[in-house]
Amino acid sequence: MAAPWAHRYAQRTKSVKSSIIRELLKLTQRPEVISFAGGLPAPEVFPVARFQEACQRVLATQATTALQYGPTEGYRPLRELIVAQMGRYGIVATVDNILITSGSQQALDLIAKLLINRGDRILVESPTYLGALQAFDLMGAEYVTVPVDDDGLQTCNMEQALRSGPKFMYILPNFQNPGGVTLSRKRRDELVELSDRYGIPIIEDDPYGQLRYEGEHISPLVVLDRTNLARDNGYKLGNVIYLSTFSKVLAPGLRVAWIVAPPDVIAKLVQIKQSTDLHTSTFTQMVVYEAARDGFIDEHVKLIRATYKERRDAMLSALNDYFPPEVSWTHPHGGLFLWVTMPPGVDSSRLLELALRQNVAFVPGEPFFPNGDTGSHMRLNFSNAAPEQIREGIRRLSIAVAHELEHRGAEIMV
């Protein structure tokens, strides 16, 4: 039953799509289901003892700061730690370039509030991260899309999209969610050149950058940005706003992430964040700082990489063993996801029903395409299940796929 005053809802709420991923996650919490649907880190790699020490230290020595209201910009030692950490990846910034956010999802909300007027076009990869579309939808965004292949965004196919006047570009260069693909160095150079030529800023979302399992690190767009390199007058950074998070290298339950942007953009985002939630929990910021400091993340990430590489390999090898030749998939060099493409005519919602009957779950591809479905896809997460579960899950999923391929055949014959 709707509220008697439901007619008072704002226009923007009509466009709020229910998150298919989160609704699915509810259905797949039965213990017998092997779920490739979520984007959950492996709980086995949470550094629990490190967090215990961190909490103990924060509350023993700085409790009144940790439990009190704090500055909107974030806890300064944490911002300094982020600056130092990013410097190792070539990102030259100061604390004035950093805003702490309540997870990267909030970074997307704040940026949407900063930049999107109802009806503005945003240039996104197709497919792209569903959560970004949801944040942008809420401020009334429309989309212009550029397709993705194994080398990421097809920069050779984007001039028309750029000429249509997008407000900004939203790009996931590393181990893209959902595609699992990585933007090549050549295309990164082309992209920042296009950004400069058209004067269109880039939001670079990089939650998984440190989780690479093969190949060489490629410089982020914020480092390659020509407008950034061109400046020598004290203006820090240029056309790229860079986002990253502690969710994948420490734990997502803390909700601590950050934005890197020019200081005047950070100042605007700070005002918006004030109005949005005053500040991110002082306590969790201090706990993250204590857990991350003294080089802990660099050490810990080795364990995460080893664990996830084994799981990715288990999934690739099971797909190879069980899946029919008409189905193809990406080979992610890092991150949490792999993207499966099925032959034309496969109904991925019906496939999900069949899969759930086999006690295995995935996310259908449709919601990742802002301007409607293009083909039939599954997003598979490989970080959350153990290798033997992954193999068993892919075996079950192959049964559902075989049924669906048959069924599709039957329909075509009729």
Q: How far is the CB of 38 from a copy of itself (least distance, A)?
A: 7
In the list 28, 37, 109, 339, the residue contacting a copy of itself (rule: CB under 8 A) is 109
Q: Of the two residues 11 and 413, which places its CB atom closer to a copy of itself in the complex?
A: 11
Give the start-end residues of each E strand in 299-359: 328-329, 337-342
- What does the longest C-alpha to C-alpha distance in the chain come to? 74
**Least spacing, CB of residue 255 vs a copy of itself, in Å:** 4
Q: CB burial class (10 A; 0-12, 13-18, 19+) of residue 349?
A: exposed
Report the residue number, 152 or 201, with the smaller CB distance to a copy of itself.
201
The least distance separating a copy of itself from the CB of residue 392, rounded to whole angstroms, comes to 21
- In whole angstroms, what is the distance from residue 95 CA to residue 83 CA? 7
Which CB, 120 or 206, lies closer to a copy of itself? 120
Please give the backbone phi and psi of residue 361, each rounded to the nearest 5 degrees, phi first.
-135, 150
Residue 364 β-bridge partners: 378
- The reply on whether position 119 binds a copy of itself by CB under 8 A is no
- Tell me, residue by residue from 161 to 180, as one string, x for binding to a copy of itself by CB under 8 A and - for no binding: ------xx------------
CB closer to a copy of itself out of 161 and 181: 161
Site for a copy of itself in 350-409 (CB under 8 A): none
Per-residue x/- mask for a copy of itself, residues 177 to 206, rule CB under 8 A? ----------------------xxx-----
Binding residues for a copy of itself, total number by CB under 8 A: 92
Residue 232, C-beta contacts closer than 8 angstroms, at least 6 positions apart: none
Can you tell me which of 117, 156, 413, 414 binds a copy of itself, judged by CB under 8 A? 117
DSSP labels for 160-224? HHHHT--SEEEE--SS-TTT-----HHHHHHHHHHHHHHT--EEEE-SSTT-B-SS-----HHHH
- Footprint on residues 125-144 left by a copy of itself (CB under 8 A): 131, 134-135, 137-139
- Tokens at 165, concatenated: 């006047």
Query: Which residues lie below 8 Å from residue 16, measured CB to CB, with a gap of 6+?
Result: 134, 137, 138
Shortest distance in whole angstroms from residue 14 CB to a copy of itself: 10
Stretch that binds a copy of itself, among 85-93, 115-123, 324-332, 347-355 (CB under 8 A): 115-123
Q: How far is the CB of 409 from a copy of itself (least distance, A)?
A: 38
How many C-beta atoms lie closer than 10 Å to residue 8's C-beta?
A: 7
- Burial label for 151, CB within 10 Å (0-12, 13-18, 19+), is middle
* Shorter beta-carbon distance to a copy of itself: residue 52 or 328: 52
The region of 216-224, 281-289, 297-305, 328-336 touching a copy of itself under the rule CB under 8 A is 281-289
CB count within 10 Å of CB 371 equals: 11
- Whether the link from the prior residue into 127 is cis, omega within 30° of 0, is yes
Q: Which stretch binds a copy of itself (CB under 8 A): 154-162, 260-268, 319-327, 357-365?
A: 260-268
| CB-based contact 72:308 (threshold 8 Å) | no
Q: Within positions 296 to 315, which residues make up the interface with a copy of itself, using CB under 8 A?
A: none
Per CB under 8 A, which of residues 229..248 are in contact with a copy of itself? 234-235, 238-239
Nearer to a copy of itself, 66 or 223 (CB): 66
Q: How far is the CB of 97 from a copy of itself (least distance, A)?
A: 12
Residue 12: CB partners within 8 Å, gap ≥ 6? 118, 137, 138, 139, 140
Tell which phi-psi region holds residue 117, choosing left (phi > 0), alpha (psi between -120 and 50) or beta. beta
- Looking at residue 334, the DSSP 8-state letter turns out to be B
Interface of this chain with a copy of itself, residues 11 to 70, rule: CB under 8 A: 11-13, 16-19, 22, 26, 38-41, 43, 46, 48, 51-52, 55-56, 59-60, 63-70
Rank residues 275 and 349 by Cβ distance to a copy of itself and give the closer one: 275
Nearest CB to a copy of itself, comparing residues 70 and 152: 70
User: Could you write out the DSSP letters of every residue in 272-285?
Assistant: HHHHHHSSS-HHHH
CB of 231 or CB of 395, closer to a copy of itself: 231
Residues 79-108 that bind a copy of itself (CB under 8 A): 102-103, 105-106
Residue 121, SS3? strand
Interface residue with a copy of itself, options 10, 412, 413, 414 (CB under 8 A): 10
Q: Output 14 or 88, the one with its CB closest to a copy of itself.
A: 14
How many beta carbons lie within 10 A of that of residue 67, not counting itself? 14
